Structure 1
Amino acid sequence: MSVEQPLWHALTAYRVLTLIYALCLFVYSFHDYDRPLGAAAYMAVLTVWTALTFRMVSSAERCTRRFLIGDLAVAITGILLTPLVDTHDRIAEGTPTLPSIWTAGAVLGFAIKGGWRWAAWASTVVCAANIIERGGFAQDTVHMLMLVWVASVAIGYVVEVARASERTLARALRIEAATRERERLARDIHDSVLQVLAMVQRRGAAIGGEAAELGRMAGEQEIALRSLVATGLVTPPRAAADDRHDLDDATPPASPPGPDPAPADALPCVPEDSADPCDLRALIAPHAGSQVTFSEPGAPVILPAAAAGELAAAVGAALDNVRVHAGEGARAWILLEDEPNAVMVTVRDDGPGIPDGRLADAEREGRLGVALSIRGRLRDLGGTAEWISAPGQGTEVELTVPKPALNAKDRT
Structure 2
Amino acid sequence: MTVTRGTEEPDPVWAATAPLWRAVQAFRLVTLLYAVGQQIASVSYYGNQRLSWALIAVMAVWSGISAVLLSQWRIRHEPRVRRAVVVGDHVVVIALIFATRLVAPYDWYHHHQTLPTTLWAANAVVSAAILWGPFGGVCSGLLISAAVITARAQWDFDVWRDATLPVLISVGLALGLASDTAHRAHAQLQRAVRLTAAARERERLAREVHDGVLQVLSYIKRRGNEIGGLTAELAQRAGEQEVALRVLISEQGDRTDAGGAEEDLRPLLTAQATPSVLVSTPGHPVRLGHRSAREVAAAVAAALANVVQHAGPGAKAYVLLEDIGDELVVSVRDDGPGIPPGRLAEAEGQGRMGVSRSIVGRIAALGGTAQLLFEPAPADGEGAEWEFRVPLEPRH
Fold shared per TM-score above 0.5: yes
Kept in 1: contact 2:195–2:253 (CA 8 A): no
Distance of 1:386 and 1:205 partners within structure 2: 27
Structure-2 residue corresponding to 1:227:
247
Q: Pick closer, same or farther for the CA change 1:169–1:90 going to 2, 3 Å.
A: same
Structure-1 residue corresponding to 2:353:
none
Kept in 2: contact 1:334–1:345 (CA 8 A): no
Bigger drift between 11-20 and 219-228 goes to 11-20
Structure-2 residue corresponding to 1:138:
158
SS of corresponding position for 1:138: helix
Q: Pick closer, same or farther for the CA change 1:382–1:17 going to 2, 3 Å.
A: closer
Distance of 1:352 and 1:177 partners within structure 2: 42
Q: How does 1:178-197 map to 2 (within 5 A)?
A: 178-197=198-217
1:30 to 43, 46, 71: 43
Structure-2 residue corresponding to 1:342:
327
Q: How does 1:216-255 map to 2 (within 5 A)?
A: 216-232=236-252
Q: What are the Cα deviations for residues 86-124 of structure 1, in whole angstroms up to 9, with x where unaligned? A: 22332343x221111211111111111121111111111
Q: Pick closer, same or farther for the CA change 1:123–1:229 going to 2, 3 Å.
A: same
Q: What are the Cα deviations for residues 186-223 of structure 1, in whole angstroms up to 9, with x where unaligned? A: 34433443233212111011112443333223212211
Q: Pick closer, same or farther for the CA change 1:395–1:217 going to 2, 3 Å.
A: closer
Distance of 1:186 and 1:79 partners within structure 2: 66
Q: Pick closer, same or farther for the CA change 1:13–1:141 going to 2, 3 Å.
A: farther
Distance of 1:13 and 1:398 partners within structure 2: 64
Structure-2 residue corresponding to 1:398:
387
Distance of 1:386 and 1:204 partners within structure 2: 29
Give the drift of 1:156: 1.2
Distance of 1:200 and 1:298 partners within structure 2: 39
Q: How does 1:63-74 map to 2 (within 5 A)?
A: 63-74=81-92
Distance of 2:253 and 2:38 partners within structure 1: 68
Structure-1 residue corresponding to 2:273:
none
Kept in 2: contact 1:301–1:338 (CA 8 A): no
Distance of 1:233 and 1:221 partners within structure 2: 20
Structure 2 length normalisation: TM-score? Answer: 0.63
Q: How does 1:39-118 map to 2 (within 5 A)?
A: 39-59=52-72, 61-62=78-79, 63-93=81-111, 95-100=112-117, 101-118=119-136
Kept in 2: contact 1:131–1:141 (CA 8 A): no
SS of corresponding position for 2:291: coil
Structure-2 residue corresponding to 1:21:
34
Distance of 1:157 and 1:82 partners within structure 2: 32
Q: How does 1:264-343 map to 2 (within 5 A)?
A: 299-301=290-292, 342=327
SS of corresponding position for 2:114: coil
Structure-2 residue corresponding to 1:247:
none
Give the drift of 1:233: 8.6
Kept in 2: contact 1:111–1:155 (CA 8 A): yes
Give the drift of 1:180: 2.6
Aligned length, in residue pairs: 304
Kept in 1: contact 2:202–2:252 (CA 8 A): no
In the alignment, residue 96 of structure 1 is paired with which amino acid? Answer: Q
SS of corresponding position for 2:387: strand
Kept in 2: contact 1:11–1:57 (CA 8 A): no
In the alignment, residue 28 of structure 1 is paired with which amino acid? Answer: A
Q: Pick closer, same or farther for the CA change 1:45–1:158 going to 2, 3 Å.
A: same
Unmatched 5+ residue regions in structure 2?
Answer: 1-8, 10-14, 255-259, 261-276, 280-287, 341-359
Structure-2 residue corresponding to 1:260:
none
Percent identical pairs in the alignment equals 34
Distance of 1:189 and 1:161 partners within structure 2: 42
Distance of 2:231 and 2:322 partners within structure 1: 40
Give the drift of 1:141: 5.6
1:170 aligns with 2:187: no
Unmatched 5+ residue regions in structure 1?
Answer: 235-276, 278-292, 324-328, 355-373, 406-412
Structure 1 length normalisation: TM-score? Answer: 0.60
Distance of 1:38 and 1:338 partners within structure 2: 83
Kept in 2: contact 1:34–1:87 (CA 8 A): yes
Kept in 1: contact 2:138–2:172 (CA 8 A): yes
Q: Pick closer, same or farther for the CA change 1:146–1:173 going to 2, 3 Å.
A: same
Distance of 2:244 and 2:370 partners within structure 1: 30
Distance of 2:194 and 2:182 partners within structure 1: 18
Give the drift of 1:128: 1.1
